[in-house]
Copies of this chain bind each other. A is one copy, B any other.
Amino acid sequence: MPMPSKLQVGTGELRVTPAFSVGLEGYQGAPLAQAVERFLGNVTRRTGLFIGVDPAAADKSTLVIYTEHAGSAVQELGEDESYALNVTAAGAKLSAANPLGILRGLQTFLQLIQLTPAGWVVNAVQIEDAPRFPWRGLMIDVSRHFIQMDTLKRNVDAMEAVKLNVLHLHLSDDQGFRLQNKEFPKLTESGSDGQFYTQAEMRELVEYAGERGIRVVPEFDMPGHSTAWFVGYPELSSGPGPYAIERRWGIFDPAMDPTREETYKFLDKFIGEMAAFFPDHYFHIGGDEVNGKQWDANPKIQEFKREHKLKSNEELQAYFTQRVEKLVRKHHKTMVGWDEILVPGMPEEIVIQSWRGQDSLAKAAQQGYRGLLSSGYYLDAMAPAGKYYAVDPMSNADAALTPEQQKRILGGEAAAWAEFISDENNESRIWPRAAAIAERLWSPQEMRDPESMYARLAGVNQELEQLGLRQRSNMQVMLGRMAGNDDIPALRILAEVVEPVSITIREKEAESAGGIQTSDIALNRLVDAVEPESEMAREFSVAVNQLVSSNFQDAQAEAYIRSSLIRWRDNDAALQPVLQASYLPQEAVPVSKNLNALAVSGLQALDYVEKKQVAPESWRAQQSALVQNAAKPTADLSLAIAPAIQKLIDAGASAK
Binding site for B on A (CB under 8 A): 18, 37, 45-50, 52-54, 114-119, 145, 193-195, 422, 424, 458-459, 461-462, 465-466, 470, 472-473, 476-478, 480-482, 484-486, 519-524, 528, 580-584, 586
Contacts and interface: CB of A to CB of B under 8 A. Distances in A.
A480 B462 CA distance: 7
A231 to B, nearest CB: 13
A473 to B, nearest CB: 4
Contact of A477 (B37, B458, B465, B583): B465
Contact of A583 (B115, B195, B465, B466): B115
A477 B115 CA distance: 14
Q: Which of A47, A114, A524, A580 has the most CB of B within 10 A?
A: A524
15 contacts: A48-B422, A48-B424, A48-B523, A48-B584, A50-B145, A53-B193, A54-B193, A54-B194, A115-B583, A117-B581, A117-B583, A458-B486, A465-B477, A472-B476, A473-B476
B459 A115 contact: no
B476 A465 contact: yes
A465 B52 CA distance: 31
B194 A47 contact: no
A520 to B, nearest CB: 5
Contacts of A521: 18, 50
Contacts of A461: 486
B484 A465 contact: no
A116 B54 contact: no
Contact of A46 (B116, B470, B481, B586): B481
B477 A53 contact: no
A54 B582 CA distance: 29
A473 B427 CA distance: 15
A522 B49 contact: yes
Contact of A582 (B116, B462, B584, B586): B116
Contact of A484 (B37, B114, B478): B114
B424 A522 contact: no
Nearest to A424: B48
B524 A47 contact: yes
A194 B53 contact: yes
Contact of A119 (B50, B580, B583): B583
Given A47-B481, A48-B478, A461-B486, 13 more contacts: A18-B521, A45-B424, A48-B424, A50-B422, A50-B519, A50-B521, A53-B193, A54-B194, A119-B583, A462-B480, A462-B486, A466-B477, A466-B481
A-B CB proximity, top 6 nearest: A48-B524, A473-B473, A115-B582, A49-B522, A115-B484, A53-B194
Nearest to A55: B194
What is the oligomeric copy number? 2
Contacts of A119: 583
Contacts of A115: 481-482, 484, 582-584
A346 to B, nearest CB: 40
Contacts of A114: 484
Nearest to A459: B485
Contact of A481 (B48, B422, B486, B586): B48
Nearest to A461: B486
B485 A462 contact: yes
Nearest to A585: B115
Q: Which of A48, A470, A482 has the most CB of B within 10 A?
A: A48
Contacts of A118: 583
B486 A18 contact: no
Contacts of A484: 114-115
Contacts of A583: 115-119
Contacts of A52: 193
A470 B45 CA distance: 14
A330 B224 CA distance: 65
A18 B473 contact: no
A205 to B, nearest CB: 16
A116 B483 CA distance: 10
Contacts of A459: 485
A52 B245 CA distance: 13
Nearest to A581: B117
Nearest to A425: B48
Contacts of A46: 481
A145 B580 CA distance: 46
A52 B146 CA distance: 12
A521 B51 CA distance: 10
B50 A520 contact: yes
A584 B461 CA distance: 21
A587 B211 CA distance: 40
Contacts of A523: 48
A38 to B, nearest CB: 13
A462 B484 CA distance: 9
Contacts of A47: 481, 522, 524
A484 B113 CA distance: 10
Given A53-B195, A424-B48, A520 B18 contact: yes
Q: Which of A472, A480, A520, A522 has the most CB of B within 10 A?
A: A522
Nearest to A478: B48
Contacts of A116: 582-583
A573 to B, nearest CB: 13
A504 B605 CA distance: 58
Q: Which of A477, A519, A523 has the most CB of B within 10 A?
A: A477
